[in-house]
Amino acid sequence: MNVLILNAGSSSLKFQVIATDLDRIKKASDERLCRGQVERIGGEAIVTVQNKNGPRRKLTAPIRDVAAALDYVLRWLASDTSEVAEIRSLGDLHAVGHRVVHGGEMFHESALITDDVLKGIEDCIDLAPLHNPNNIKGILAVREIFGRQTPQVAVFDTAFHSTIAEQAYLYALPYHLYRRHRIRRYGFHGTSHRYVAYRYRMLRSLTREQTNLVTLHLGNGCSACAIRGGRSVDTSMGMTPLEGLVMGTRSGDLDPAILNLMASKEGLSPHEVESVLNTQSGLLGISGLTNDMKVLEDELKVHDDRRVRLAIEIFCYRARKYVGAFLAAMGGADAVIFTGGIGENSPMIRGRICEGLGWAGLKLDQGRNEQMVARGEGQISTDDSTLNAWVIPTDEELLIARDTVRCILGEPHPG
């Protein structure tokens, strides 16, 4: 089955096509046929496409909305220029899997999209006003182009965290706020945390029940997850993706009283304050330079700028603090897993986060850490570490493709 995987954002549409089915899942022989993205939707968009054998190609085109972006991508896919031999027409795309950000308390696993499921995703808009509307646009655009007969599946960022217990998901607020408005921790990046936990247990030949990890997804958005017995028991992101670790442009944890202070001192509305926390804080806010960790690292090497150093220190300190907290919360773990653009590519950040974890039994192997190549996978701790450190590149799209197949065939989810 050729599954089109879509991740529709406010001004971008990411896509992949993965060939998979139950047999391929069993043999782990799923095949990625192509991938790409449309950025800066709403104006002169930048389209990046790449088939499995070819180089990455960049094009520009005026694209007004998500539907137009999808139309553009599908035309490319079905054209000769894409050189994706398996796809000659739209009929060769058999199903569509969507990354959906918020599934609220309704969706504990991926779901075949029916009118009821679509309504459920709409009901979660209150919880994710910036994200779910874009995901819905993507689903409707597919319906418009393919018709209802092409099955679509929603894979929720929140679903993996639905196993978190009340003590970890409730905030210490008046309880009626939870009852009335469902104010609680939901957590995000669930598909990524779930993937690296799955991959780790495959690599180590463990059962799900034997899988005890702290996973660190460090990309533009960053989150930590405590995984016990293969299930999420706590995570750093909260009601929204703003809580927890320091991120590219998000602040992560702060004293909630600061919001009012910022509003009154800076003359900002609550909405504007939240926007500062989401878009002007984190690495960008502290460094005053960029949200891009690679650029910060290069800058540190060349100029040793104080605020760049500070941004990196605060980022690593917060991540280490969460690792410690989650180790305490879950009574220890077998390994810390690094993933996401920073986690996969930056030996320096991994080193700095691991530096203070000797007390927990984590001894970093400097050579292994430095020599881990891009997209590389493996252990970076010494063989006598009692808490291991691993790098595992994330692959959310693979799980979305597999969930899509399983949902369509009514197969039980592996979790």
Q: Which is nearer to ligand ADP, 183 or 295 (CB)?
A: 295
Integer angstrom CA distances of residue 281 from 11, 189, 274, 323: 20, 20, 10, 22
Q: Which is nearer to ligand ADP, 104 or 221 (CB)?
A: 221
At its nearest, how many Å lie between ligand ADP and the CB of residue 226? 20
Q: Which amino acid is at 173?
A: L
Token pair recorded at residue 410: 């009514």
Q: Which is nearer to ligand ADP, 21 or 396 (CB)?
A: 396
Angle at 3 between CA 101 and CA 338, to 5 degrees: 50
Q: Which is nearer to ligand ADP, 219 or 230 (CB)?
A: 219
At its nearest, how many Å lie between ligand ADP and the CB of residue 46? 15
Q: Which is nearer to ligand ADP, 153 or 296 (CB)?
A: 296
Q: Which is nearer to ligand ADP, 187 or 221 (CB)?
A: 221
At its nearest, how many Å lie between ligand ADP and the CB of residue 174? 34
Q: Which is nearer to ligand ADP, 116 or 304 (CB)?
A: 304
Q: 242 to 261, contacts with ligand ADP by CB under 6 A?
A: 248
Stretch that binds ligand ADP, among 37-45, 238-246, 259-267, 340-348 (CB under 6 A): 340-348
Residue in 239, 341, 352, 389 binding ligand ADP, rule: CB under 6 A = 341
Number of residues that bind ligand ADP (CB under 6 A): 13
Crossing angle for the helix pair 190-203 and 396-409, nearest 10 degrees? 90
157 part of the active site:
yes
Question: 406, 329, 304, 319: which is closest to 354 by C-alpha?
Answer: 319
Give the DSSP letter of residue 158. Answer: T
Give the x/- contact pattern for ligand ADP in 212-231, rule: CB under 6 A.
Answer: -------xxx----------
Question: 349, 393, 351, 348: which is closest to 374 by C-alpha?
Answer: 393
Q: Is 202 exposed, middle or buried (0-12, 13-18, 19+ CB in 10 A)?
A: exposed
Does 340 contact ligand ADP by CB under 6 A? yes
Token pair recorded at residue 74: 């599908």
At its nearest, how many Å lie between ligand ADP and the CB of residue 336? 17
Integer angstrom CA distances of residue 14 from 37, 39, 370, 384: 4, 8, 31, 41
Integer angstrom CA distances of residue 107 from 102, 119, 246, 324: 9, 12, 28, 30
Q: How many helices (H) and strands (E) in the chain?
A: 16, 14
Give the x/- contact pattern for ligand ADP in 256-295, rule: CB under 6 A.
Answer: ------------------------------------xxx-
Does 38 contact ligand ADP by CB under 6 A? no
Coil, strand or helix: which one is 314? helix
Residue in 346, 369, 381, 404 binding ligand ADP, rule: CB under 6 A = 346
Q: Which amino acid is at 112?
A: L
Q: Is 213 exposed, middle or buried (0-12, 13-18, 19+ CB in 10 A)?
A: buried
At its nearest, how many Å lie between ligand ADP and the CB of residue 362? 21
- Contact between residue 260 and residue 268 where contact means Cβ atoms under 8 Å apart: no
At its nearest, how many Å lie between ligand ADP and the CB of residue 199? 16
Among residues 21, 30, 157, 234, which one is catalytic? 157
Does 345 contact ligand ADP by CB under 6 A? yes
At its nearest, how many Å lie between ligand ADP and the CB of residue 307? 16
Residues with active-site annotation: 157
Q: Residue numbers of the site for ligand ADP (CB under 6 A)?
A: 219-221, 248, 292-294, 297, 340-342, 345-346
